[in-house]
Amino acid sequence: MNPNKRIIHVLVVVCVMFLSLVTYLLYFNMFQAEEVATNPYNKRQWEDEKFVKRGNIYDANGILLAETEVDGDTRIRRYPKGRLYSHVIGYYSRTYGKSQLEMLYDKELLGHGDITISFNELRSGYDLNLTIDHSLQQYAYDQLGNRQGAVVALEPATGRILALVSRPDFDPAAESLEQNWNAIVEQENSPLLARATQGLYPPGSTYKIATTTAAYEKGLIGTTFEDTGLFEKDGLKVSNYGEKAYGTIDLKQAFSVSSNFVFCSLGYEMGPETVQETAQRFGIGKSFDFDLAMSKSQIQYKTMYPADAALVSIGQGQLLMTPLHVAMMSAAVANDGKMMTPYLVDSITTASGLTLSTTKPSLFSQSMSRDCAEYLDELMQNAVETGTGRNARISGVAVAGKTGTAENETDKDHAWFVGYAPADDPKIAVAVLLEYDGGAGGTNAGPIARNVIRRYLGM
């Protein structure tokens, strides 16, 4: 081969390699550099923290929830409220990294972007001010007790999180975490799982809120049904809870007693397209920005048939939702059909009190019309006054709600209750999930929601 051609070939190869390297470096710096830099397992990050006093975390009333104790070169992250916020604030460990707010707001807690010149002197990170009401968080936690599940409370008009409880939980202190890590991760009840935001469950009859929305829009709310107690179509058999038959019944009565026969019939008649479109408007299958890691509620059918639509319409089949999303569904009714994006971090401030950013409420989805929301509000109030949600009644306060009892892979059903109050001027929406409870939602979850609402309203 001609020597000049060989040189040209070598130059081409070198140029291609050089351009590939440059392209990769540009891609890395534009799309991956920040993620790598803020990764909780990045050892260089821990070196940077030698010169930073990590920011504090406070509740909505200024109660301290997390702080860093400095002892010479040692930084000890303290959680004054112990396990209570293990699924909200998370943990901070040199061995196992960071989780939840400690991870997702790591840059802010370290004060990255602060232009203060420290010359290796200790500087302070930024503080997080949460929307959570510590008193309500503690109360909801105590109400849940030793049962597995979640309690979510939020403000319907804004999406502000008022309480966010998941159990079982764990001690987030680094020393405890590092001593007990193997035992924690091997537990069958998964204490590291933030059930309120990452647990996916069939929502059961709480999802009849969405099905009623579809029926309203299709003009089916005046329909009457002959409820035999057993829905049977295309090989699918679904009984009412307790195998009760309600005879001639309209939609309002069906919602109050939570008739599976009626809502399966509606889902089957409206069909897969309508059921799926309604689910999308309620945010099923959609991601949204939140201050913690979120599992995406979903319908898992590759192809949905009428019988599948019937099952989804009662919150069963391959429909899965997080407790937070179920709370949002109820809050949308309370907020004239507007489903707000939930948020947990109200503001970020410097150690000296300067506000760097404040979260503003934002609309996630217009789930239903105002007229439909008013109709559903009437049905949900009736369900609490005379139907399956009677255990959520509060003297002197109109409560709107919906119960749910969801079948799963075990013989112990999940128990649900979702609702809001006061119905004429909603201040709080609550969802309660009791995982593998084995009882009815109205009987076991309803009283917890009632008590949380009463506590928040100061009753």
| Contact (Cβ atoms closer than 8 angstroms) between residue 130 and residue 65 | yes
Nearest-CA neighbor of 325 among 193, 202, 148?
202
For residue 205, indicate whether it is catalytic.
Answer: yes
Rounded to whole angstroms, the Cα distance separating 410 from 91 reads: 32
Q: How large is the angle between the packed helices 370-385 and 208-217, nearest 10 degrees? A: 130
Residue indicated by tokens 């051609």: 5
Catalytic residue among 86, 93, 99, 205: 205
Tokens read off for 244? 């009760």
| Contact (Cβ atoms closer than 8 angstroms) between residue 312 and residue 319 | yes
Find the angle CA(316)-CA(389)-CA(84) to the nearest 5 degrees.
Answer: 80
Active site residue ranges: 205
